Amino acid sequence: MLQVIRSKANNIVVKALFGLLAATFALWGIGDIFRNWGTDTAIARVGSKEVSSDQLNLEIRNQLNQLRSVLGQSIDMDQAKQFGLVNSSLQRIVGGYLIDLETDRLGLVVGDEAVRQAIISNPNFAGPSGAFDRTRYTQLLAANQLNEAQYEASMRQDLVRTQLTTAVVDGMTAPGPLVDTMYRSRAERRSADIVTLTPAAVPAPPAPTEDQLKAFYDGHKEMFLTQEQRGFSIALLKLDDVASTIKVPDDKLKAEYDKRPDEFQGTEERNLQQMLLPDEAKAKAAKAQLDAGKDFAAVAKSDAGSDAASTDLGWVKKSDLPDQLASVAFGLAKGKASDPVQTSFGWHILRVTDIKPGQTKSFESVKDQLSREVSRDQAGDQIAKTANDIDDALAGGNSFDTVVQKFGLKTQKIAAINAQGQTPDGKPADLPQPADVVLRAAFGNNNGETSPLSELGDDGYFIVHVDKVDAAVVKPLADAHAQAVTLWQADQKKDALNKLADSMIQQVKDGKSFKDVAAARKLTISTTPALERLGSDPTVPPALVAALFNAKQGGAVSAASGENVVVGQVKTIEAADPAKDADNVKQFADELSNQLKTDMMGAFDQSLRGHFPVEINQSNLDHL
């Protein structure tokens, strides 16, 4: 999933969505009051208002749908928590309630005419003419399970909230001197001469003494941790398993067969050649040559100027051709050329080179296929009901074994596995797919706990019970001796590379040219393109870019890049001139102004929390 996000990180919608999540925390804060509410089922209270679990679930799903539509990939609740969607959804509701309470206190209202204008000017409700279309309005509301009264109440609430928040931030803009100063820093560009120091640039270190190895091991024990291993049981409710128990009567299968004639009743196909001529006289002359036995492709080339590729139409069905040509093409005998046929494109001569008769599949030949498909359709309805019943059973305190027995679920045991899905011998475990969803459930619950019922892709549902947890431990030095030697030597090489880089930088400071310093070590210098302070160039490590922008003209710096160290000297500095870049300065000023508005709304939110206490029921939130 992280890879998917990285791959789409430049998508403006993704940036906007994650910006919204970040802004939510900035606006509404996270410093709420947590306490134990006993048997209270509310997720939170904001002054006199309560946030219900249904309300929070709806908001979470709305945000999930937005993220799914952007990423093009399904996201489960564990991932939603990792992205902060649960907390951000709650804070959005809390923030909205704070605004509502303040608008009530101030007596702000929005009249019916303002609501009406907002609705009729909404382009989503416009018809083909561009004007408000009441039929489309009611259809869209029905599709979203809303009636007019509910939608208008929601619109009224949004308008009142906007009225207040607009008043709070209206007119806030970033001061010109601040914009210019920050823009000069942000838009400055620098290039550098760089060399890359690889581990081959320093001699191989000797074997460590036992004392050196022991000291390294004691100082880096986190490097010698074993991976946590878990054993767990998986209970599966799979669509195919449910479908296999469903017997579909023959009369229903026959009815399904009859509903799909295009699929099972074969259509004749013909392999056609065609030549297109500009007038009837040329078409008749070409037909005469064909009747005399001349090759179709040769006549098409000489009379119609068509090559073989444009002459060959390939395999076509009758429905693929215009009506004027279809009846002619499908009335010809194999190998025969048609008389000229006129269409709006000119005069056509067709020839059939081969024929595939339509093959109708009998009911008996597709009966098993139909049975599988219909039973899967019926299983979809049945499995949804069973899933709800399993959810209720788990919520009612039933154990994993009880649920398995009660609902006849298939089970699979995993003896030991790490978080990457590997068994102790390093081989991938045989897990239901998608395996990452199962692993998250197995490693997201404590020893002895049972996970909630979760979706197993499109194939069904699963539950995981954690049978045992073997915690990660530090391997004894005796068991990790070879690994420790390898890591110690790598650390020594890294230290030697850093010292080499430092010595080169010192030589430049002492007055030597970077070119001579590199040449003395037989290193090849390359020059970077013009770099931006916040930009990225795949050829230059980000850490080096940051160091270059903190150096003076001609200054030398270094930064790690994997196992290498890159040394660079600032070659050019291109100062930014706000006066010559008005469009980008304006865009930057708008960004700063929006950030100022966000900060102001954050301060306003904290002020509202002083008037209207916010309390979060952490226990109910955790069990949502």
359 — pLDDT class (breaks 50, 70, 90): confident
- What's the whole-number mean pLDDT along residues 529-547? 87
129 — pLDDT class (breaks 50, 70, 90): confident
pLDDT in tens, 167-215: 888 888 889 889 888 888 888 999 999 999 999 888 989 899 999 999 9
Q: Which two tokens stand for residue 420?
A: 């990457």
Q: How far is 458 from 434, CA to CA, in rounded Å?
A: 10
HSE-up of 355 (CA within 13 Å, CB side)? 14
Q: How far is 180 from 154, CA to CA, in rounded Å?
A: 42
- What's the whole-number mean pLDDT along residues 315-343? 86
Q: Which two tokens stand for residue 370?
A: 């139909």
Q: Which two tokens stand for residue 606?
A: 């904290």
- Higher model confidence: residue 67 or residue 188? 188
Pairing mode, strands 556-561 and 44-46: unpaired
Q: Which distant-in-sequence residues (6+ apart) come within 8 Å of 164 by Cβ?
A: 99, 102, 103, 106, 108
**Cα 412-417-419 angle, rounded to 5 deg:** 115
- Higher model confidence: residue 81 or residue 455? 455
Q: Which two tokens stand for residue 231?
A: 């054993």
Report pLDDT for 32: 40
Report pLDDT for 234: 92
25 — pLDDT class (breaks 50, 70, 90): very low
> Are residues 72 and 21 in contact, defined by beta-carbon separation less than 8 angstroms?
no
Q: What are the backbone angles phi and psi of residue 306, rounded to the nearest 5°?
A: -105, 135
Residue 6 has pLDDT above 90, yes or no: no
Residue 465 has pLDDT above 50, yes or no: yes
Q: Which distant-in-sequence residues (6+ apart) come within 8 Å of 281 by Cβ?
A: none
pLDDT in tens, 576-621: 888 888 888 898 888 899 899 989 988 998 889 888 888 888 777 7
pLDDT in tens, 361-394: 777 777 777 777 777 777 677 777 888 888 888 8
Task: Find the DSSP H helices in 292-343.
Answer: 296-304, 308-311, 323-329
Report pLDDT for 51: 86
Q: How far is 148 from 153, CA to CA, in rounded Å?
A: 8
Q: Which two tokens stand for residue 519?
A: 């040449």
Report pLDDT for 13: 36
Least confident of 2-11, 138-147, 477-486, 499-508: 2-11
Spell 349-362 as b/e; 16+ CB within 10 A means b.
Answer: bbbbeeeeeeeeee
Q: How far is 541 from 197, CA to CA, in rounded Å?
A: 13
What domains can you pick out in the chain, each with its CATH number?
2-169+604-622 (1.10.4030.10), 189-224+480-574 (no CATH), 229-247+372-470 (3.10.50), 267-356 (3.10.50.40)
Report pLDDT for 262: 63
489 — pLDDT class (breaks 50, 70, 90): very high
10 — pLDDT class (breaks 50, 70, 90): very low
- What's the whole-number mean pLDDT along residues 134-142? 84
Q: How far is 615 from 106, CA to CA, in rounded Å?
A: 23
Spell 237-271 as b/e; 16+ CB within 10 A means b.
Answer: bbbebbbeeeebeeeebeebbeeeeeebeeeebbb
Report pLDDT for 78: 66
- What's the whole-number mean pLDDT along residues 262-279? 81
| Residue whose tokens read 């074993």 | 226
Report pLDDT for 52: 86
- What's the whole-number mean pLDDT along residues 9-36? 39
Q: Residue 325 gets which letter from DSSP?
A: H
77 — pLDDT class (breaks 50, 70, 90): low
pLDDT in tens, 544-580: 999 999 999 999 999 999 899 999 999 999 998 888 8
Q: How far is 597 from 603, CA to CA, in rounded Å?
A: 10
pLDDT in tens, 212-249: 999 999 999 888 888 888 999 998 888 777 777 767 77
Q: Per this entry, what is the length of the chain?
A: 624
3 — pLDDT class (breaks 50, 70, 90): very low
3-class secondary structure per residue, 512-546: CCHHHHHHHCCCCCEECCCEECCCCCCCCCHHHHH
Q: How far is 198 from 497, CA to CA, in rounded Å?
A: 8
> Are residues 69 and 22 in contact, defined by beta-carbon separation less than 8 angstroms?
no
Pairing mode, strands 33-34 and 614-616: parallel
Q: Which distant-in-sequence residues (6+ apart) come within 8 Å of 7 by Cβ?
A: none
Q: Is 317 exposed, middle or buried (CB count within 10 Å of its CB: 0-12, 13-18, 19+)?
A: middle
- Higher model confidence: residue 59 or residue 159? 159
Q: Residue 170 gets which letter from DSSP?
A: T
Q: What is the pLDDT of the chain when averaged over all its residues?
A: 83
- What's the whole-number mean pLDDT along residues 385-406? 86
Q: How far is 55 from 350, CA to CA, in rounded Å?
A: 66
Segment holding 559, helix H or strand E? strand 556-561
40 — pLDDT class (breaks 50, 70, 90): low
- What's the whole-number mean pLDDT along residues 67-95? 74
Q: How far is 444 from 465, CA to CA, in rounded Å?
A: 11
90 — pLDDT class (breaks 50, 70, 90): confident
Report pLDDT for 74: 61
- What's the whole-number mean pLDDT along residues 112-123? 90
